[in-house]
Chain A
Amino acid sequence: MGEYFASNFTSSSEEKIILGAKTCDLESLRILDSVYANGDFKDPFYIEERGNIILISSDCTRAQDTCFCSLLDLTPYPKEGFDLNLSLVEGGFVLEVGSEKGKKIVEENKELMEEAGEEQLSQREKRRQDVLNEVKEINKDFDSERSFREVIKDSFNSPVWEEAVEKCVDCGGCNHICPTCRCFLLFDEKGKKGFSRTSLWDACLYTGFARVAAGANPRIKLSQRFANRLLCKFGFFPENLGLDACTGCGRCISVCIGKIDMREVVRDLRVKV
């Protein structure tokens, strides 16, 4: 039998810059932080990696049909969670400092910048409102007084899930592309000297995700697994953190080969639950 020689979890102590992250990306980090960097056990690799990141976000300059941050009370321009934020205006960017780290970078590079004036700031505000209105316009058919959270909370047995999965092929794409999906599976990788422990992303849409060794599976039906994805985001996370684990990025809509749009599913749930 093989033996372990090392852990294959690595984190580099190099600083990395993430440039151009949007509100939906920043928001997802709140979810990931709450999982990996909190609780009785913490993930030291994540924490180290995260600490070495300089986050330079930016305002969205336009919206796509799949964007729906406005439905979750988010705006297409970041309000917090960045080191620096860039807003495109005529002739350059308005740079906003969001952290000590960001402040340091600005101070060290003063010669590249000049004070933003009234004009730039009002232009930033106008562009921000324009894009926000664009997102709202895209989602006007999905807007409702009843939040996603409220609608999804007790919906597990709704017939809507069965209808929704008629086009689902169980590919797990929506899980894998989701910036808040945090589930993984530990596994051992074979090396020259033995095995090392590592992990890979997992997806709750997969049949075996919750199956136990003896064969019992609490989510044996695809509709149950599909429901679980949204129940996790709008049930489990709000109950544990008071936060939705969905940022309205719309990636699960663009990735889906069955053309399933979760906004439509929620709309159906509103009517039929």
Chain B
Amino acid sequence: MESPYQPTKAKILKIIPETPNIKTFVLKPEDSLEFKAGQFIQLTVPGLGEAPFTPSSSPYEKEKIEVTVMKVGSVTSVLHSLKEEDTIGIRGPYGKEYPLSDFEEKETLIVGGGVGLAPLRSLFLALAKNIERYKKVLFCYGAKTPEDIVYKGAVLKNWQDLHPEKIHFRITVDKADGEWKGKVGLVTTTLDNLEEEIEDIQKSPVIVCGPPIMMKFTTFKLLDLGYRPPNIFLSMEKNMSCGIGKCGHCQTGKYLVCRDGPVLTYDKIKDIPTIWD
């Protein structure tokens, strides 16, 4: 009997070090695995455990799938110790995708903090591929120090050169080093003078991903600026085991984050106690 809990194999084609504690794994799943931007997968190290990740590669990339992993817990530590050519387990995709068609003709704001850039990269690449459908994309990103900027080459240069007429960037670091010539300040400061970029805040969608504290203060600032709760898309990080709505681990208020998320709009979660913890 086919088990919905059973991973299939994926080979690690390449490992790209991004920052001192973040690596990107380029994987080739044995059985093809196609996801939509916003959905997540489970990576498994047999005998050691499993952890959920939103892929960081473009959903249009069919041959391989990239996952950017920060070393934070036991599974991610083991992942960091793996080598190219090793095999791991993968299953998915699970959860709901971003409603990209709702973003068409609109000015889309993306706000990322730290490793929260990983899932946003997948969304960004999906938007950039069909940029003619969107009015504008403003990409705001903050990292602790210049060293902690994930996909540094892309963020600081390649992506900026893609469609400079339609895609704009605001990048900041909490603490500069000698080399850094850009902005210094928390990611929320990238939202100052937002009206210079976004004309119609009332109707615009915004997608936020980062550490809980960053998501909290960013959301509050967005509300102050006039963003509407149903237009604020938040990536929820919750404990998961099954990923398919059975095991109960990700239950949050009346939602199962693996089934109804992992991205939920603020209007849905605003009254759930301890939502930012």
Residues of A within 8 A of B (CB): 1-4, 7, 9, 11, 35-36, 39-45, 48, 156-157, 182-188, 190, 194-195, 197, 199, 202, 204, 209-220, 224, 232, 235-236, 239-240
Are B274 and A4 touching (Cβ within 8 A)? no
Residue B237 CB within 8 A of the other chain: yes
Are B249 and A209 touching (Cβ within 8 A)? yes
Are A213 and B277 touching (Cβ within 8 A)? no
Residue B275 CB within 8 A of the other chain: yes
Distance between Cα atoms of A157 and B75 in the complex (Å): 34
A213 contact set on B, CB distance < 8 A = 51, 72-76
Are B246 and A1 touching (Cβ within 8 A)? no
Q: Which residues of chain B from 248 to 262 have a CB within 8 Å of any chain A CB? A: 248-249, 251-254, 259
Are A39 and B259 touching (Cβ within 8 A)? yes
Are B248 and A39 touching (Cβ within 8 A)? no
Distance between Cα atoms of A185 and B86 in the complex (Å): 26
Are B273 and A157 touching (Cβ within 8 A)? yes
Shortest Cβ distance from residue B86 to the other chain A in the assembled complex, whole angstroms:
7
The 3 A-B pairs at the shortest CB distance, nearest first, are namely A213-B73, A183-B248, A41-B244
Task: Please name the residue on chain B nearest to A36 by beta carbon.
Answer: B246
Residues of B within 8 A of A (CB): 1-7, 9, 44-51, 72-76, 82, 86-89, 211-212, 237-239, 241-242, 244-249, 251-254, 259, 273-275, 277
Shortest Cβ distance from residue B9 to the other chain A in the assembled complex, whole angstroms:
8
Are A11 and B1 touching (Cβ within 8 A)? yes
Shortest Cβ distance from residue A158 to the other chain B in the assembled complex, whole angstroms:
11
List 25 A-B residue pairs with CB atoms under 8 Å apart, sorted by A's residue number. A1-B86, A4-B6, A4-B7, A7-B5, A11-B1, A39-B246, A41-B244, A41-B246, A44-B3, A44-B4, A185-B241, A185-B249, A186-B50, A186-B241, A186-B247, A202-B249, A209-B249, A213-B72, A213-B75, A213-B76, A214-B72, A216-B237, A224-B274, A235-B253, A236-B254
Shortest Cβ distance from residue B222 to the other chain A in the assembled complex, whole angstroms:
21
Distance between Cα atoms of A169 and B89 in the complex (Å): 37
Are A182 and B248 touching (Cβ within 8 A)? yes
Distance between Cα atoms of A190 and B251 in the complex (Å): 29
Are B237 and A212 touching (Cβ within 8 A)? yes
Known A210-B239, A216-B277, A218-B277; judge A194-B248 contact (CB<8 A): no
B47 contact set on A, CB distance < 8 A = 1-2, 188, 190, 195
B44 contact set on A, CB distance < 8 A = 188
B88 contact set on A, CB distance < 8 A = 1
Are A219 and B274 touching (Cβ within 8 A)? yes
A35 contact set on B, CB distance < 8 A = 245-246
Task: Please name the residue on chain A nearest to B1 by beta carbon.
Answer: A44
Instruction: Beyond A4-B89, A214-B73, list 15 extra A-B contacts (CB 8 Å).
Output: A4-B7, A9-B3, A35-B246, A41-B244, A43-B4, A48-B1, A184-B241, A184-B247, A184-B248, A186-B241, A197-B6, A204-B251, A214-B72, A218-B238, A240-B254
